[in-house]
Structure formats: C-alpha cells, structure tokens
C-alpha cells in the first residue's frame, strides 16, 4: 500500500497580522444591519394566580399598555373552570429597532378549588408550539418559519413570606425542561426587606431540593470583567422581587416616577434600592433576550425534538438522521410479534407436557395402590378360606373349635347342635 493511506496531519493554523485592511472587521455591522432590518421576535409567558400583578408587570416591563386595565368579575359572574391560554402581540419600536412581542397569558392558573392539573394546559401549549415549529422545519419550503415558541416564562410567586406552595413546585417541575423559567416574587412591596431576603433564601432552597432548573445568566470564558460582574449581580437577585406600576406618581422630592404611593412614601419601580424590577428587565430584555432565545432553540427545543423523533421511530446513526421507511418498520414489527407468539407457544407446550407427566405419575401411583389393595384382599380371602376349611375339617372329625372363639351368648362358637 502507498504511504499516503495514512491520515494527513492537521494543517497548522497560521496566525498572521494583516498589513492592509480587507474589511471583515465589518462583519458585526453586517449582522447588526440585517437584524435591525428583520426585527426581533420574542414570546414571553406569564403564569400565576390572578391578581398577582401579571398584566401590570408586563405593561411596566415593555412600557406599553399591552394589557388594558382589567375589570374584576362581579360576584354573580360565571367563572371559567379551566386554565385558558391567551396571546397578545404588539410591535414595539425603540431607536429604530423593532420588536414583535407576544405575551402568552394563562388566566385561571391556581384560581380553582382543585388546582391539581393547572399546569397541564400550559405544558400542552408549549409542546404544541414546539410541534408547529418542527412541522414547519420539515416542510419542503421553509423560508418563512413562524416561531411561536415560548422563550421565557415568568412565574409569579405569591408574596406569602413562607416558602413555595405545592402548586408552585409542581408547575416548575413540569415545566423546567421545556421553557426558561424565571421565578418572580409578585407585589414585593407587601414584604419588608428582611422578609424578602428570607423568602428568597427559602424559595431557592426549595428549588434546589426539587432539582428544578431555572434560567441562569450564562457566563463565557473570555468575557470581560464588567460582563461577569453584571451576570453575577443579576444572578444574585433571583428570584426577582418586583413591584409593578404603569403610571407615574410624584415623589416627596418632586420627581415623576413609575411607582406606588403609600401613606409612608412612594415605592419606585425603577429604583434598585426599592425592588428588583430593573434587574429583571436587564435579564429579560437588555442583556439576555438573545440568550433566552438561543437556549430555547439549542437546548430546550432540541431535546424535545430528539425525544419526539426517537418516539416516532426516527433513529440517528453516526452522522445523519436516517428515517426507517414505514413498510420495513411494519415488517420488523411483524417479525418481532411472530417471535413473541412462537415463544409463548413453546412455553405453553412445555407447561402442558409437564402437567401431563405429573398426571401420569399420579395415575401410576394410584394403580399401584389399587394392585396392593387387591393383593391384600386376595391374601385375606385366602386366609379366610383356609380357616373355614380348617373349621370344616374339625367339624367333620367331631372336634371342638378353639375355645377362645365364643359368641355373645357365651356359647362356644364351634359347637353345633345336632
Ligand atoms: P393579574 O390578574 O395577575 O394580571 O393582576 P393585575 O396586573 O390585573 O393586578 C391586580 C391588582 O394588583 C391591581 O389592582 C394592581 O394595581 C395591583 N398590583 C399590580 N402590581 C402590583 C404590585 O407590584 N404591588 C402591589 N401592591 N399591587 C400591585
């Protein structure tokens, strides 16, 4: 064989400093221009009992009145019996960058007497969105894929100050590998700073105990110190204790702020000393929106897709996905079914034979017992016959029979009256 059959050593990477300007340093600008032109798309789900301030927070986060103020239901109104899934979309623009924001609301969650399966319609909605994306990917023409997948789920925890409730744990356990979970302590202005700190610690302990995976700000190896510090700061605030308010109020020092007025002062939404709203917005919109989208696509959707395709009988060989054609799959299944039937038949035969053998052995034994009884009876009869003959002989000879054989009247049995 020629020497060249051996694998070639990897080509060395030549690192050179360019003398002239070629222009690829402009690549980030190209990406930027294209992204701005295309716009961005983000879908956020909000889950939590009604009245926890979900609509208010969404309006506060995106500075829109996406949700009109809700009228509380009159006492006589018929209340819905199931969790509903409702989406609202809006195109918002900031400095020429367009964002198509979709908020998926889940009214009814946790509002019933029995909330056992409240999570189910939500999981189904997330999976249906994955299904729709997969179906579009598999189309012949996949130029225009509409991405309805949920990129983040804000889970509103009631500000009880205790720990997570069973419904919170169950929801997060069911959802954590399908969506980026972002836990939020709702209406944090109802708790003191110390209560918030204790509550956060207990929630985190519960989350760790139940092995729930919540979205973590990612950090990369060669990231600058500023980015690392920012990621750390955001991480230290999870679960975010937030206050929502979409209207402006006047502070005692005369500033106009978004906040809530109390007899003892004003809680400012955008003040980091008052609540974690700013950090939540930073995580969700300013710093990690792209990461949330990427993690949804690369990890959550990918895992779900692999599982789904494997269940459908699509197997992955070394490098490519190979789909088994349905006919050969059916043939394979038939062969397997036949083998199973043959095995069952053989087992049944074996059991049958065993039973027959047992029965035969039993019959043989009772036959032997019968023979033995027959022999015994025969011997007894023969003995009786001999005795009678003996008696007969004695009588004929006029001799008495043995004295111990007497009948009930005390007469000797062998005496015959003549
Ligand atoms: P949703 O049913 O979860 O969408 O809740 P809403 O956003 O409709 O809010 C229900 C009520 O709670 C409204 O009266 C809001 O003004 C109030 N609210 C909203 N956010 C907060 C908050 O952060 N703190 C307090 N104290 N009240 C809030």
Mean pLDDT of 302-313: 88
From 46, 56, 274, 275, the mutation candidate for ligand 1 (largest count of ligand atoms within 8 A of CB) is 56
* Closest CA relative to residue 180, chosen from 140, 210, 149, 135: 149
- pLDDT tens by residue, 152-165: 999 999 999 998 99
Q: Give the confidence band of 280 by pLDDT, cuts at 50, 70, 90.
A: very high
Atom in ligand 1 nearest the alpha carbon of residue 70: 8
**CB within 8 Å of 310: residues ≥ 6 apart:** 316
The last residue of a domain, from among 255, 289, 318: 318
pTM exceeding the 0.90 threshold for the entire prediction: no
CB 300, CB 177: distance < 8 Å: yes
Q: Which atom of ligand 1 is nearest to the CA of 69?
A: 8
ipTM: 0.97
Helix ranges, 299-325 (H): 302-311
**How many angstroms does the Cα of residue 198 sit away from the middle of ligand 1?**
23
* Cα gap 19→33, rounded to integer Å: 27
User: Which of 44, 48, 53, 249 gets mutated to test ligand 1 (max ligand atoms within 8 A of its CB)?
Assistant: 53
Q: Does residue 345 share a domain with residue 267? A: no
> Dihedrals φ, ψ of 144, to 5°?
-115, 80
* Nearest of 101, 152, 108, 386 to residue 292 by alpha carbon: 152
What lies within 8 Å, CB to CB, of 291 at 6+ separation is 217, 218
pLDDT, one tens digit per residue, over 217-253 is 777 777 788 888 888 888 899 999 999 998 899 988 8
Work out the percent of the chain whose per-residue pLDDT is above 70: 86
Same domain, 336 and 379: yes
In a domain, 25, yes or no: no
Average pLDDT over residues 294-322: 79
Domain tally, the chain: 2
Does 39 fall in a domain?
Answer: yes
Ligand 1, atom 12, lies closest to the CA of 53
Token digits for 38? Answer: 């295309």
- Look at 280 and 17; give whichever has higher pLDDT: 280
Question: According to the model, what pLDDT value does residue 33 have?
Answer: 87
Domain boundary residue among 318, 341, 356? 318
Which residues line the pocket of ligand 1, CB cutoff 6 A? 50-56, 70, 187, 189-190, 243-244, 260
Looking only at the bridges linking them, the beta strands covering 181-185 and 152-157 are parallel
What range does the domain containing 363 cover?
A: 324-401
DSSP 369-390: HHHHHHHHHHHHHHHHHHHHHH
Q: What is the CATH number of the domain that holds 249?
A: 3.40.50.300
Residue closest by Cα to atom 11 of ligand 1: 51
pLDDT (0 to 100) of residue 416: 45
Radius of gyration over every alpha carbon of the chain, rounded to an integer in angstroms: 44
23 assigned to some structural domain: no
What is the spatial distance between Cα 238 and Cα 231, in angstroms, rounded to a whole number? 11
Instruction: List beta partners, residue 185.
Output: 157, 241
Residues 142 and 223 grouped into a single domain = yes
Shared-domain flag, residues 185 and 267: yes
pLDDT at residue 414, rounded to an integer: 45
Of 45, 46, 47, 51, the one to substitute when testing ligand 1's pocket (max ligand atoms within 8 A of C-beta) is 51
The Cα–Cα gap between 346 and 366 comes to 31
**Mean pLDDT, the chain, whole residue set:** 84
Residues 145 and 195 in one domain: yes
Q: Is residue 211 part of a domain?
A: yes
Nearest atom of ligand 1 to the alpha carbon of 48: 3
């Amino acid at each position: 064989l020629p020497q060249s059959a051996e694998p070639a050593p990897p080509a060395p990477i030549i690192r050179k400093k360019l003398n002239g300007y070629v222009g690829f340093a402009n690549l980030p600008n190209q990406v930027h221009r294209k992204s701005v032109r295309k716009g961005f798309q983000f879908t956020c789900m909000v889950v939590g009992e009604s009245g926890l301030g979900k609509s208010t927070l969404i309006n506060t986060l995106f500075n829109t009145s996406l949700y009109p103020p809700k009228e509380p239901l009159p006492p006589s109104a018929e209340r819905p019996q199931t969790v509903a899934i409702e989406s609202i979309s809006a195109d918002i623009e900031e400095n020429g960058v367009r964002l198509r924001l979709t908020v998926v609301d889940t009214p009814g969650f946790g509002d019933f007497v029995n909330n056992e399966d409240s999570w189910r319609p939500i999981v189904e909605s997330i999976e249906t969105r994955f299904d729709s994306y997969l179906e579009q990917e598999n189309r012949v023409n996949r130029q225009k894929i509409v991405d309805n997948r949920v990129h983040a789920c804000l889970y509103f925890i009631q500000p009880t100050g205790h720990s997570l409730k069973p419904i919170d744990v169950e929801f997060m356990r069911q959802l954590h590998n399908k969506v980026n979970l972002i836990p939020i302590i709702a209406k944090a202005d109802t708790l003191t700073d110390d209560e918030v700190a204790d509550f956060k610690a207990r929630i985190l302990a519960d989350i760790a105990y139940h092995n729930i995976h919540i979205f973590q700000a990612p950090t990369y190896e060669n990231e600058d110190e500023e980015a690392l510090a920012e990621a750390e700061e955001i991480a230290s605030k999870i679960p975010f204790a937030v206050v929502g308010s979409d209207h402006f109020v006047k502070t005692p020092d005369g500033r106009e702020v978004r906040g809530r007025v109390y007899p003892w002062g004003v809680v400012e939404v955008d003040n980091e000393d008052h609540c974690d709203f700013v950090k939540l917005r930073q995580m969700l919109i300013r710093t990690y929106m792209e990461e949330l989208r990427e993690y949804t696509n690369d990890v959550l959707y990918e895992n779900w897709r692999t599982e789904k395709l494997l269940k459908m009988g699509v197997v992955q060989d070394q490098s490519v996905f190979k789909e088994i054609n349905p006919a050969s799959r059916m043939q394979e299944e038939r062969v397997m079914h036949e083998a199973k039937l043959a095995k069952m038949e053989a087992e049944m035969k074996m059991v049958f034979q065993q039973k027959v053998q047992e029965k035969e052995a039993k019959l043989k034994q009772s036959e032997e017992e019968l023979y033995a009884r027959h022999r015994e009876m025969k011997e007894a009869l023969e003995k009786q016959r001999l005795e009678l003959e003996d008696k007969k002989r004695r009588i004929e000879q006029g001799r008495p029979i043995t004295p111990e054989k007497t009948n009930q009247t005390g007469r000797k049995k062998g005496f015959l009256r003549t």
